[in-house]
């Protein structure tokens, strides 16, 4: 019989390429895919999927003990923490300005500037700065972060439907990238990308966060939403073609399966391995549905996910 | 592929006899095309027409059954590349490999552990699916004894793994009634394997790792030999290779209607993995990307639980989230002074909340509002979980009749609803509960005074 003919899809679109870092610090480009995840035979995947590591500007009070012991003392200092994350293999540092949350210490611009400065001087990796996700506070601390980070081309997040203007404007002024975050809905994601583009942010300076559901807690919604966004991008829709960021560590480690060691069913098994797998399964599933950057928490997960990305990036 | 009404009409007797219940053959054909009625309602269908209709109705990926009895596994018959296009129907079977070189006590222990493994999630019991007995010894008696031992301990389906027809035959003499999957026919042994599959009525796996053309050639040979229940192994063992090959196979079956490769796929994620974690992650990828049977080498509950959870996530029908019936639920044995909490009817939300209330020993009333199966934040964003809806539910389910107090705890990140809810329910005290289900116990301890 004749040789089997491989079906190859002819995609017309492409995920936008977005560069972070540069000017004296390492730079990284994400996006640029012209096919579905890792289907090297039908298109190009010019940039490796990036692994970012989350650092907070204050010592986390609610982290699982296994996470705390994996990091140790550096959790008290964002600079030292970022440095250690770089040693563990982070491609990008994500600095979460958590202390600015009104229910935490409600810190303001000055503290934000200091934390961003610490991280930028501690490592030469590209940086993403996330606010506490409270609109007014985000505007305050991200504008401050933007100023300090001028020239380092960081990503500022998050632009939400209610407060994208200030953050987008400051990103344009200081030459940064923005992250557009929407709640697991394809039309909302597209609409916010359009709004942000309309006020002048170029498409090579927008990342999107379609909202991450952890394994067992809405993973399937994120998974399918991201597949739909990625397919729409490949079919030529430039407003769904922003590279995707997933806050995997934050979501996975919020769940009981990852956090709780005692008083759970025996069928949940060894806590250490289960909690790691919870983060890793969430990461690999979302990488296979189109993520360009996954933000992780556990150093071991960083190692395992990076090794898996290497395997997936290798041409068959 | 599916026929149109006109194509079906051409195959009908065109007598308009009305026996089928429709006034004309054409009207009947249209209903059949719309899958509203079965073609078998036509009493005068010719043999030729029957065959043509059957061939057209044949699914692009054959449904194959492994095992017999209640715990048999059905795989295949998938119709889409992406779950959002419709749904994935048949969750892959998760089986564990048993080597016939292992000590009997060791085998018995593994079988016991896997077969009795069960974990609860959103009100369902999730379980593992079977065993693959590997003829590592190359010895017929050892293989047969091992198969017999496993079968004596479990009624889960089996895969018999041997490329030696003599060994396969020996094992089949012991365990054929369980309809195991025979793994595998290759280019050297396929005639003998076909013979065994036919003799015992078992499904047969076909293995060819040197290209899909060779694999297709072999499945055609096997199918011409009379075996229809086929499972294929293209030999892809690593992450990238598995993703590429399994995607190509699914596309060939669905997009090209390529029959020789329209079968479920068996994978072995442990063979190229250096650790249990790596194996688990590759198995996870294969759950989402197109495996039918997954044979694992390493069992532990901490791997089984995330794998089963992922399988549940990926194979849930995206159009029908698991929902709870709206109403007032009793957690424990609540009294009239017990707390009243409010949440949505998304099953996961319900089970997270109910589980926490139970484990923190708070007997309570849980008001579940109809949010069409959406979670708290999603339904709030979609306007399906607002003050009006909650107030309506409070009245509709007559929540007040059970309790002496008038306090209501809002759960999740919907503190924003408090103001409006106070307007809608002026006699009630609205309390803003914790953001996460796992903090409910602590919250009630601190704040509940009724």
Mean pLDDT across chain A, nearest whole number? 95
Residue B436's closest chain A neighbor by CA? A254
- For strand B364-369 and strand B327-331, is the pairing parallel, antiparallel, or unpaired? antiparallel
Rounded average pLDDT over A15-41? 96
Its CATH architecture, for the domain B327-447, is: 3-Layer(aba) Sandwich (3.40)
Mean pLDDT across chain B, nearest whole number? 93
Residue B448: pLDDT above 70? Answer: yes
Residue A218: pLDDT above 90? Answer: no
Residue B4: pLDDT above 80? Answer: yes
Residue B1: pLDDT above 60? Answer: no
pLDDT in tens, B43-54: 888 888 887 777
Residue A2: pLDDT above 60? Answer: no
A216/B contact by beta carbon, under 8 A: yes
What are the structural domains of chain A? 17-313 (3.20.20.20)
Residues 278 through 317 of chain B touching chain A, CB cutoff 8 Å: 278, 280-281, 284-285, 288-289, 300-306, 309-310, 312-314, 316
pLDDT of residue B39: 83
CA dihedral B408, B412, B416, B421 (to 10 degrees): -30
Q: What is the 3-state secondary structure (H, E, C) of chain B?
A: CCCCHHHHHHHCCCCCCCCCCCCCHHHHHHHHHCCCCCHHHCCCCCHHHHHHHHHHHCCCCCCEEECCCCCCEEECCCCCCCHHHCCCCCCCEEEEEEECCCCHHHHHHHHHHHHHCEEEECCEEEECCEEEEECCCCCHHHHHHHHHHHHHHCCCCEEEECCCHHHHHHHHHHHHHHCCEEEEECCCCHHHHHHHHHHHCCCEEEECCCCHHHHHHHHHHHHHCCCCCEEEECCCCCHHHHHHHHHHHHHHHHHCCCHHHCCCEEECCCCCCCCHHHHHHHHHHHHHCCCCEEEECCCCHHHHHHHHHHHHHHHCCCCCCCECCCEEEEECCCCCCCCEEEEECEHHHHHHHHHHHHHCCCCEEEEEECCCCCCHHHHHHCCCCCHHHHHHHHHHCCHHHHCCCCEEEECCCCHHHHHHHHHHCCCCEEEECCCCHHHHHHHHHHHCCC
Rounded average pLDDT over B14-37? 89
Specify whether domain B5-57 bears CATH 3.20.20.70.
Answer: no
- B217, B242, B313: best mutation site toward chain A, by most A Cβ within 10 Å? B313
Rounded average pLDDT over A233-261? 95
Q: What is the ipTM of this complex?
A: 0.97
pLDDT of residue B268: 98
DSSP per-residue string spanning chain A: -PPPPPP-------PPEEEEEETTEEEEEEE--SSSTT-TTTS---SPPEEEEEEESS--SS--HHHHHHHGGGGG-HHHHHHHHHHTT-SEEEEE-GGGSTTTT---HHHHHHHHHHHHHH--S-EEEE--S-HHHHHHHHHHHHHHTTTS--EEEEE-TTSHHHHHHHHHHHT-EEEEE-SS-HHHHHHHHHHHHHTT--GGGEEEE----BTTBBHHHHHHHHHHHHHHHHTT-GGG-SPEEE-HHHHHTTSHHHH--SSS-GGG--HHHHHHHHHHHHHHHHHHTTEEEEEE--HHHHHHHHHHHHHHHS--
Which is more confidently placed, B85 or A3? Answer: B85
Residue B348: pLDDT above 80? Answer: no
Min Cα separation A28/chain B (Å): 23
Residue B113: pLDDT above 70? Answer: yes
B435/A contact by beta carbon, under 8 A: no
Residue A128: pLDDT above 90? Answer: yes
Which of A138-142, A197-201, B279-283, B441-445 is the least confident region? B441-445
pLDDT of residue B354: 85
Rounded average pLDDT over B263-270? 98
Residues 252 through 311 of chain A touching chain B, CB cutoff 8 Å: 254, 256-257, 259-260, 263, 265-271, 273-274, 276-278, 280-281, 284-285, 288-289, 304, 307-308, 311
Q: Do B348 and A218 touch (CB under 8 A)?
A: yes
Instruction: Find out whether B318 and B132 touch, Cβ atoms under 8 Å.
Output: no
Distance CA A237, CA B140 (A): 60
pLDDT of residue A96: 98
B342/A contact by beta carbon, under 8 A: no
pLDDT in tens, B234-259: 999 999 999 999 999 999 999 988 99
The CATH number of B64-315 is which of 3.30.930.10, 3.40.50.800, 2.40.170.20, 3.20.20.20?
A: 3.20.20.20
pLDDT of residue B33: 83
pLDDT of residue B58: 79
Residue A1: pLDDT above 60? Answer: no
Rounded average pLDDT over A227-251? 98
Which of A117-131, B300-314, B316-330 is the least confident region? B316-330
Spell out the residues 6+ positions from residue A216 whose beta carbon is closer than 8 angstroms to its own.
Answer: A255, A257, A278, B121, B306, B309, B312, B313, B348
Choose the closest CB to B277 out of A5, A219, A280. A280
Rounded average pLDDT over A116-131? 98
Choose the closest CB to B240 out of A267, A270, A312. A312
Min Cα separation B260/chain A (Å): 10
Confidence of residue B227 (pLDDT cuts 50, 70, 90): very high
Confidence of residue B381 (pLDDT cuts 50, 70, 90): confident
- What backbone torsions phi and psi does residue A188 show, to the nearest 5 degrees? -65, -40
pLDDT in tens, A152-175: 999 999 999 888 999 999 999 999
Q: Which pair of structure tokens corresponds to residue B129?
A: 């699916």
Instruction: Find out whether A254 and A214 touch, Cβ atoms under 8 Å.
Output: yes
Choose the closest CB to A7 out of B251, B377, B378. B251
Residue B122's closest chain A neighbor by CA? A216
Cis peptide before B184 (omega within 30 of 0): yes
Residue B59: pLDDT above 90? Answer: no
Instruction: Find out whether A154 and A126 touch, Cβ atoms under 8 Å.
Output: yes
pLDDT of residue B2: 67
Q: Residue length, chain A?
A: 316
Instruction: Find out whether A27 and A47 touch, Cβ atoms under 8 Å.
Output: no
Residue B359: pLDDT above 80? Answer: no
Question: Domain extents for chain B?
Answer: 5-57, 64-315, 327-447
Chain A residues with CB under 8 Å of B381 CB are 183, 185
What separation in angstroms does the CA of B434 have from each of A242, A247, B209, B411, B431? 34, 22, 54, 6, 10
Of all residues in chain B, the percent with pLDDT exceeding 90 is 73
Residue B110: pLDDT above 70? Answer: yes
Which of A83-87, B4-8, B66-70, B218-222 is the least confident region? B4-8
pLDDT of residue A227: 98
């Amino acid at each position: 019989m004749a040789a089997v003919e491989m079906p190859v899809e002819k995609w017309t679109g492409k995920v936008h390429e977005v560069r972070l870092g540069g000017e004296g610090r390492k730079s990284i480009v994400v996006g640029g895919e012209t096919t579905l995840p890792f289907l090297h035979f039908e298109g190009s995947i010019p940039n490796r999927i990036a692994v970012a590591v989350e650092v907070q500007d204050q010592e986390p009070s609610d982290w699982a003990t296994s996470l705390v012991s994996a990091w140790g003392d550096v959790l008290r200092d964002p600079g030292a923490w970022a440095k250690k994350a770089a040693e563990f293999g982070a491609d990008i540092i994500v600095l979460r300005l958590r202390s600015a949350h009104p229910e935490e210490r409600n810190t303001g611009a000055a503290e934000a500037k200091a934390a961003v400065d610490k991280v930028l001087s501690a490592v030469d990796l590209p940086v993403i700065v996330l606010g506490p996700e409270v609109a007014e506070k985000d505007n305050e601390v991200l504008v401050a972060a933007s100023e300090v980070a001028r020239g380092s081309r960081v990503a500022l997040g998050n632009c939400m439907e209610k407060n994208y203007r200030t953050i987008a404007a400051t990103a344009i002024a200081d030459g940064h990238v923005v992250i557009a975050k929407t709640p697991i809905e394809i039309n909302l994601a597209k609409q916010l990308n359009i709004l942000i583009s309309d006020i002048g942010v170029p498409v090579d300076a927008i990342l999107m966060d379609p909202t991450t559901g952890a394994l067992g807690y809405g993973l399937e919604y994120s998974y399918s939403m991201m597949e739909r966004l990625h397919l729409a991008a490949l079919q030529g829709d430039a407003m769904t073609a922003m590279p995707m960021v997933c806050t995997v560590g934050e979501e996975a480690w919020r769940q009981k399966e990852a956090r709780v060691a005692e008083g759970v069913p025996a069928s949940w098994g060894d806590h250490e391995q289960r909690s790691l797998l919870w983060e890793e399964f969430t990461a690999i599933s979302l990488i296979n549905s189109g993520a360009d950057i996954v933000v992780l928490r556990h150093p071991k997960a960083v190692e395992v996910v990076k090794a898996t990305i290497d395997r997936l990036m290798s041409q068959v | 592929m599916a026929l149109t009404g006109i194509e079906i009409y051409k195959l009908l007797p065109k007598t308009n006899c009305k026996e089928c219940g429709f006034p004309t053959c054409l009207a009947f054909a249209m209903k059949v095309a719309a899958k509203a009625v079965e073609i078998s309602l036509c009493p005068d269908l010719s043999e030729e027409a029957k065959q043509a209709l059957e061939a057209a109705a044949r699914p692009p990926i054959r449904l194959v059954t492994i095992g017999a009895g209640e715990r048999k596994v059905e795989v295949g018959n998938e119709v889409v590349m992406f779950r959002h296009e419709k749904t994935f129907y048949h969750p892959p079977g998760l089986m564990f490999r048993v080597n016939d070189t292992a000590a009997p006590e060791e085998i018995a222990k593994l079988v016991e552990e896997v077969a009795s493994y069960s974990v609860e999630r959103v009100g369902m019991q999730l379980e593992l699916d079977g065993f693959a007995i590997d003829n590592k010894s190359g010895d017929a008696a050892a293989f047969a004894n091992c198969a017999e031992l496993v079968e004596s301990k479990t009624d889960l389906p089996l895969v018999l793994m041997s490329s030696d027809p003599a060994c396969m035959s020996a094992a089949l003499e012991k365990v054929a009634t369980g309809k195991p999957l025979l793994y595998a026919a290759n280019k050297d042994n396929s005639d003998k394997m076909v013979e065994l599959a036919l003799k015992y009525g078992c499904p047969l796996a076909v293995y060819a790792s040197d290209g899909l053309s060779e694999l297709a050639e072999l499945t055609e040979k096997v199918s011409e030999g009379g075996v229809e229940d086929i499972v294929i192994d293209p030999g892809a063992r690593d992450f990238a290779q598995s993703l590429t090959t399994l995607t190509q196979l699914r596309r060939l079956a669905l997009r090209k209607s390529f029959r020789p490769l329209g079968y479920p796929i068996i994978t072995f994620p442990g063979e190229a993995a250096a650790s249990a974690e790596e194996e688990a992650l590759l198995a996870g990828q294969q759950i989402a990307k197109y495996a039918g049977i997954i044979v694992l080498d390493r069992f532990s509950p901490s791997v089984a639980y995330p794998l089963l959870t992922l399988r549940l996530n990926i194979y849930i029908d995206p159009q029908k989230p698991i929902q709870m019936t709206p109403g007032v639920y009793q957690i424990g044995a609540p009294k009239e002074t017990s707390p009243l909490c409010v949440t949505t009817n998304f099953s996961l939300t319900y089970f997270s909340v109910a589980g926490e209330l139970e484990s923190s020993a708070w007997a309570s009333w849980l008001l579940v509002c109809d949010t069409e199966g959406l979670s708290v934040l999603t339904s709030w964003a979609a306007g399906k979980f607002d003050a009006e809806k909650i107030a309506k539910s409070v009245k509709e389910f007559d929540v007040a009749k059970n309790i002496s107090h008038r306090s209501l705890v809002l759960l999740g990140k919907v503190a924003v609803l408090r103001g409006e809810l106070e307007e809608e329910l002026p006699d009630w005290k609205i309390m803003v509960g914790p953001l996460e289900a796992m903090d409910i116990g602590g919250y009630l301890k601190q704040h509940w005074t009724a």
